[in-house]
């Protein structure tokens, strides 16, 4: 399981990288990039996202 980003919904607001407790998210060239190895599926990014662009998927 890992957090995934829906690019069609994402507004690149930079909310998810700052709340991720393990630093698994970076905004690179305006795109949310998630390090699956680091992600602990804590769901913080899912909650903070103003548009529901993050979810936890298998």
Q: Which residues bind ligand SF4 (CB under 6 A)?
A: 3, 5, 10-16, 20, 22, 24-25, 32, 34, 39-45, 48-49, 51, 53-54
Which option in other proteins, ligand SF4, none does residue 47 bind, with CB closer than 5 to 8 A by kind? other proteins
Burial of 3 (0-12, 13-18, 19+ CB in 10 A): buried
DSSP secondary structure of 19-53: H-TT--EEEETTEEEE-TTT-----HHHHH-TT--
Which residues of the chain form contacts with other proteins (CB under 8 A)? 11-15, 17-21, 23, 26-30, 44, 47-52
C-beta of 6: minimal distance to other proteins in Å? 12
């Amino acid at each position: 399981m890992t957090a995934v980003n829906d690019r069609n919904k994402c507004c690149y607001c930079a909310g998810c990288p700052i709340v991720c407790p393990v630093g698994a998210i970076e905004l690179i060239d305006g795109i949310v990039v998630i390090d699956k190895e680091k992600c602990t599926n804590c769901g913080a990014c899912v909650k903070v996202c103003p548009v529901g662009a993050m979810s936890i998927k298998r």
